[in-house]
Structure 1
Amino acid sequence: MNKISEKICTLAESVLSKNKAQNVVKIDMKKKSSLTDYMIICSGTSSRHIIALSNYLKDELKKINLNLLKIEGQRAGDWILVDAGDVIIHLFRNEVRDYYNLEKMWNYEINESISFNN
């Protein structure tokens, strides 16, 4: 993990844990994709919750001068993607997460990821 990825993951872990994100997993993408080092996937309890999570992440990531930050999907609030460059964070409502099942798409295995919380 490079220093930027490490800093982003640590910050995201803290923000998501503090704000009660559910079923948070971090998947090592370095051997699976050249787009990002890590993918973090979590669920929120409602559209409002995941919109709030994305705003908390945005605010905290800007504090570390992450100017290339991009956020997609806030208007709908079902699936929000926070692109922090070396780390991509997916925030889902539970039903939407089940439908898209990104963990399966990326051949997620429990020994490859680090679960932040249950």
Structure 2
Amino acid sequence: MGDADVPALDITAAEIVSQVLTRLDEEKAEEIVTIDLQGKSDVADTLVIASGRSQRHVGALADKLLRALKEMGVQGVKCEGLPAADWVLLDAGDVIVHLFRPEVRDFYNLERIWAPERFAPAAQ
């Protein structure tokens, strides 16, 4: 009967974030940022943002993350933005990962939206 037939895996958001950060580092993602969303959003607990050097790199990062999360036992990860790979979103429940080409990331500037206190321009 639906989800009751699937064995529950006790994978925490912290474990998912750790795996995501490890894989992004291994695959040479750039400007990796983690933002704590607890108390800011009911959608997720953690937001991870990273850049790839090109559409091909962003697509490869997304593919590697999807495989790593599946191997880890994370079920139901949703992926949007492939095959264009300008901006790929991976939704792993309590952890959401945004992968961008640098120009697209600069345009949307999610860091400023979700953590303005951390990413505000320095006062001059």
Q: Same fold (TM over 0.5)?
A: yes
More helix by share: 2
The number of residues matched between the two structures is 110
* Equivalent residue number for residue 122 of structure 2: none
Contact 1:30-1:37 within 8 A present in 2 as well? yes
45, 62, 83: which one aligns with 2:53: 45
Over 3 Å counting, the alpha-carbon distance change for 1:45 and 1:89 in structure 2 is same
Report sequence identity in percent. 44
11, 20, 26: which one aligns with 2:19: 11
Contact 2:86-2:101 within 8 A present in 1 as well? yes
Question: After the TM superposition, which residues 44-83 of structure 1 pair with which residues of structure 2 at under 5 Å, given as runs?
Answer: 44-83=52-91
Q: Partners of 1:108 and 1:93 in 2: how far apart?
A: 21
Contact 1:39-1:89 within 8 A present in 2 as well? yes
**Largest Rg, 1 or 2:** 2
Q: What is the TM-score with the length of structure 2 in the denominator? A: 0.84
- Unaligned regions of 5+ residues in structure 1, if any? 112-118
Q: Partners of 2:65 and 2:117 in 1: how far apart?
A: 26
- Unaligned regions of 5+ residues in structure 2, if any? 1-9, 120-124
Give deviations 1:76-95, integer Å, cap 9, x for gaps: 11000010111000000000
Q: What is the TM-score with the length of structure 1 in the denominator? A: 0.88
Q: Partners of 1:104 and 1:32 in 2: how far apart?
A: 14
* Equivalent residue number for residue 5 of structure 2: none
* Equivalent residue number for residue 32 of structure 1: 40
Runs of 4+ in structure 1 displaced over 6 angstroms? none
